Amino acid sequence: MKELELYCIMCPASCTLRVIVKDREIQVYGNQCPRGVEYAKQEVLEPRRHVMSVVRVKNGDMPTVSVVTRSPVPKDCIWRIMEQLAKIELEAPVEIGDVVIRDICGTDIIATRRVKRIELL
Ligand code: SF4
Protein backbone atom coordinates (compact mmCIF):
# COMPACT_ATOMS: atom_id res chain seq x y z
CA MET A 1 0.00 0.00 0.00
CA LYS A 2 1.23 3.48 -0.87
CA GLU A 3 -0.10 6.88 0.21
CA LEU A 4 0.47 10.03 -1.84
CA GLU A 5 -0.47 13.68 -1.67
CA LEU A 6 -1.34 15.39 -4.93
CA TYR A 7 -2.69 18.80 -5.87
CA CYS A 8 -5.54 18.62 -8.33
CA ILE A 9 -4.81 20.89 -11.29
CA MET A 10 -8.22 20.57 -12.95
CA CYS A 11 -9.52 23.91 -11.61
CA PRO A 12 -8.30 26.88 -9.55
CA ALA A 13 -9.58 25.37 -6.27
CA SER A 14 -6.42 23.22 -6.33
CA CYS A 15 -7.72 20.65 -3.84
CA THR A 16 -5.15 18.69 -1.87
CA LEU A 17 -5.82 15.03 -2.64
CA ARG A 18 -4.81 12.19 -0.36
CA VAL A 19 -4.45 9.13 -2.56
CA ILE A 20 -4.18 5.59 -1.29
CA VAL A 21 -2.95 3.03 -3.80
CA LYS A 22 -3.26 -0.69 -3.17
CA ASP A 23 -2.37 -2.86 -6.15
CA ARG A 24 -4.32 -1.02 -8.88
CA GLU A 25 -7.12 0.08 -6.58
CA ILE A 26 -7.11 3.79 -5.82
CA GLN A 27 -8.99 5.67 -3.11
CA VAL A 28 -9.07 9.45 -3.22
CA TYR A 29 -9.89 11.84 -0.36
CA GLY A 30 -10.00 15.62 -0.25
CA ASN A 31 -11.53 16.17 -3.69
CA GLN A 32 -14.44 18.56 -3.91
CA CYS A 33 -15.77 17.03 -7.13
CA PRO A 34 -15.45 13.83 -9.22
CA ARG A 35 -12.85 15.38 -11.51
CA GLY A 36 -10.36 15.15 -8.66
CA VAL A 37 -10.78 11.38 -8.56
CA GLU A 38 -10.25 11.11 -12.32
CA TYR A 39 -7.19 13.34 -12.11
CA ALA A 40 -5.65 11.30 -9.27
CA LYS A 41 -6.26 8.00 -11.10
CA GLN A 42 -4.71 9.34 -14.29
CA GLU A 43 -1.74 10.79 -12.42
CA VAL A 44 -1.04 7.56 -10.54
CA LEU A 45 -1.73 5.02 -13.29
CA GLU A 46 -0.58 6.85 -16.43
CA PRO A 47 0.68 10.40 -15.83
CA ARG A 48 0.45 12.64 -18.90
CA ARG A 49 1.91 16.02 -19.80
CA HIS A 50 1.84 18.50 -22.65
CA VAL A 51 5.29 18.79 -24.23
CA MET A 52 6.44 22.27 -25.25
CA SER A 53 9.62 22.93 -27.15
CA VAL A 54 11.07 24.73 -30.17
CA VAL A 55 12.02 23.55 -33.66
CA ARG A 56 14.59 25.10 -36.00
CA VAL A 57 13.26 27.04 -39.01
CA LYS A 58 15.13 27.74 -42.25
CA ASN A 59 14.67 31.04 -44.11
CA GLY A 60 12.36 32.48 -41.45
CA ASP A 61 12.23 35.83 -39.68
CA MET A 62 12.88 33.81 -36.50
CA PRO A 63 15.42 30.96 -36.21
CA THR A 64 12.99 28.72 -34.30
CA VAL A 65 9.28 28.19 -33.80
CA SER A 66 7.57 27.14 -30.57
CA VAL A 67 5.61 23.89 -30.67
CA VAL A 68 3.34 21.91 -28.35
CA THR A 69 1.58 18.57 -28.28
CA ARG A 70 -2.08 18.82 -29.30
CA SER A 71 -3.00 16.78 -26.20
CA PRO A 72 -1.11 15.48 -23.15
CA VAL A 73 1.12 12.44 -23.75
CA PRO A 74 2.31 9.71 -21.38
CA LYS A 75 5.38 10.92 -19.47
CA ASP A 76 7.31 7.95 -20.86
CA CYS A 77 6.97 9.48 -24.33
CA ILE A 78 8.47 12.88 -23.56
CA TRP A 79 12.09 12.02 -24.48
CA ARG A 80 11.04 10.25 -27.67
CA ILE A 81 9.23 13.41 -28.74
CA MET A 82 12.17 15.66 -27.77
CA GLU A 83 14.56 13.47 -29.79
CA GLN A 84 12.34 13.70 -32.87
CA LEU A 85 11.93 17.48 -32.51
CA ALA A 86 15.71 17.91 -32.29
CA LYS A 87 16.09 16.26 -35.74
CA ILE A 88 13.63 18.54 -37.52
CA GLU A 89 14.25 21.73 -39.45
CA LEU A 90 11.19 23.38 -40.96
CA GLU A 91 11.11 25.62 -43.99
CA ALA A 92 9.42 29.01 -43.48
CA PRO A 93 6.68 30.12 -43.61
CA VAL A 94 5.17 28.37 -40.61
CA GLU A 95 1.61 29.13 -39.50
CA ILE A 96 0.04 28.70 -36.06
CA GLY A 97 -1.47 25.20 -35.96
CA ASP A 98 0.76 23.71 -38.66
CA VAL A 99 1.46 20.07 -37.87
CA VAL A 100 5.17 19.64 -37.22
CA ILE A 101 5.03 15.90 -36.43
CA ARG A 102 1.92 13.84 -37.10
CA ASP A 103 0.77 10.96 -34.89
CA ILE A 104 3.49 10.56 -32.30
CA CYS A 105 2.58 9.05 -28.92
CA GLY A 106 -1.10 9.34 -29.87
CA THR A 107 -1.08 13.03 -30.74
CA ASP A 108 0.35 15.61 -33.17
CA ILE A 109 2.92 18.30 -32.52
CA ILE A 110 1.73 21.71 -33.72
CA ALA A 111 3.32 25.13 -34.14
CA THR A 112 2.16 27.78 -31.68
CA ARG A 113 3.45 30.86 -33.46
CA ARG A 114 3.93 32.22 -36.93
CA VAL A 115 7.30 32.46 -38.66
CA LYS A 116 7.32 34.48 -41.89
CA ARG A 117 9.55 33.65 -44.78
CA ILE A 118 12.34 36.08 -45.48
CA GLU A 119 13.25 36.52 -49.08
CA LEU A 120 16.92 35.94 -49.73
CA LEU A 121 18.64 38.22 -52.24
S1 SF4 B 1 -11.19 18.17 -7.12
FE2 SF4 B 1 -12.69 19.32 -8.31
S3 SF4 B 1 -12.91 21.22 -7.20
FE4 SF4 B 1 -11.02 20.30 -6.46
S5 SF4 B 1 -9.40 21.17 -7.76
FE6 SF4 B 1 -10.04 19.25 -8.70
S7 SF4 B 1 -11.58 19.87 -10.19
FE8 SF4 B 1 -11.35 21.57 -8.76
Q: What is the pLDDT along the chain (121 residues), one digit of tens a residue?
A: 999 999 999 999 999 999 999 987 999 999 999 999 999 999 999 999 999 999 999 999 999 999 999 999 999 999 999 999 999 999 999 999 999 999 999 999 999 999 999 987 6
Which residue's alpha carbon is at the smallest distance from atom 6 of ligand 1?
Answer: 36
Instruction: Give the pairing of strands 99-104 and 52-58.
Output: unpaired
Query: 65 CA distance to ligand 1 centroid (A)?
Result: 34
Q: For domain 52-111, give the fold.
A: CPE0013-like fold (3.10.530)
Query: For the chain, which residues make up each domain, given as ranges?
Result: 2-45, 52-111
Query: 110 CA distance to ligand 1 centroid (A)?
Result: 29
pTM of the model: 0.80
E strand residue ranges, 1-121: 2-7, 16-22, 25-29, 48-49, 52-58, 64-69, 73-74, 89-91, 99-104, 107-111
DSSP 106: T
